[in-house]
Amino acid sequence: MENKVSKLAILTKGIIKENPVLILLLGTCPTLATTSSCLNGLGMGVSATAVLICSNIVISLLAKIIPDKVRIPCYIVVIAGFVTVVQFVLQAFVPSLYASLGLFIPLIVVNCIILGRAEMFASKNNAFDSALDGIGMGLGFTLALGVMGAVREVFGAGTILGIAVPFLSAHPIMIVALAPGGFFVYACAIAAINYFTNGKAIQKKEFGCAGCAMASTCQQEKCLAELEKGAEA
């Protein structure tokens, strides 16, 4: 590689420094929706990781063959293929997890982390590096979802991985496991990171286009800039 990034750095950057959920603020929908319990969060994380690693490898191998103009639809087909495989595997071996994740398994297709890594990393690097990147990003995603799921499960249901926690199991704060709690716990996690790093870790001050996988193809940023100009005029 031209800028001599070590293999280890590729592997580890996704876990802490560029954690997709907590630092890059990507993949918000599955993060909020599947972290009502620790096991669900981990299940979602592992499923998405499997898809991410496979799609990263295949896309990096195909990157030279795919014409530039149709690359996004091609990436989506590759990703959707692997999502279908994961869907079958979950349905066959862990039907209970399949039932509780439900709609969010097929929706891995539109997870912006996966498309984002395809566009930003896999299409420009070799298969081995892309696999490492997939493993790192996937671990970061799984870790973040697992931690958020654990927090919401402990406070919302008074259990951790199904095991009762003393005191809290008698006084669960149910709202934490429900929809508003998802937004709130995520907000607190980001605020905590801001607090401990003095606001340096999270570059993104607002949800916007910078991190979005589609940024290079869709003209949202341009459109929104035009809209704002229109509003001012």
178 binds another protein (CB under 8 A): yes
Residue 163's beta-bridge partner residues? Answer: 160
Q: Which distant-in-sequence residues (6+ apart) come within 8 Å of 91 by Cβ?
A: 98
Query: 126 or 219, CB closer to another protein?
Result: 219
95 binds another protein (CB under 8 A): no
83 binds another protein (CB under 8 A): yes
172 binds another protein (CB under 8 A): no
Q: How far is the CB of 162 from another protein (least distance, A)?
A: 23
With CB under 8 A as the rule, give the number of residues binding another protein.
Answer: 60
Q: How far is the CB of 138 from another protein (least distance, A)?
A: 19
Amino acid at 111: N
100 binds another protein (CB under 8 A): no
Query: 100 or 220, CB closer to another protein?
Result: 220
Q: How far is the CB of 154 from another protein (least distance, A)?
A: 18
Interface residues for another protein in 5-64 (CB under 8 A)?
A: 25, 28-29, 32-33
102 binds another protein (CB under 8 A): yes
Query: 30 or 132, CB closer to another protein?
Result: 30
107 binds another protein (CB under 8 A): yes
The gap between the terminal CA atoms of the chain, to the nearest Å, is 48
Can you give the binding site for another protein, defined by CB under 8 A? 25, 28-29, 32-33, 73, 76-77, 80-81, 83-84, 87-88, 102-103, 106-107, 109-112, 115, 175, 178-184, 186-188, 190-192, 194-195, 199, 202, 204-209, 212-214, 217-220, 223-224, 226-228, 231
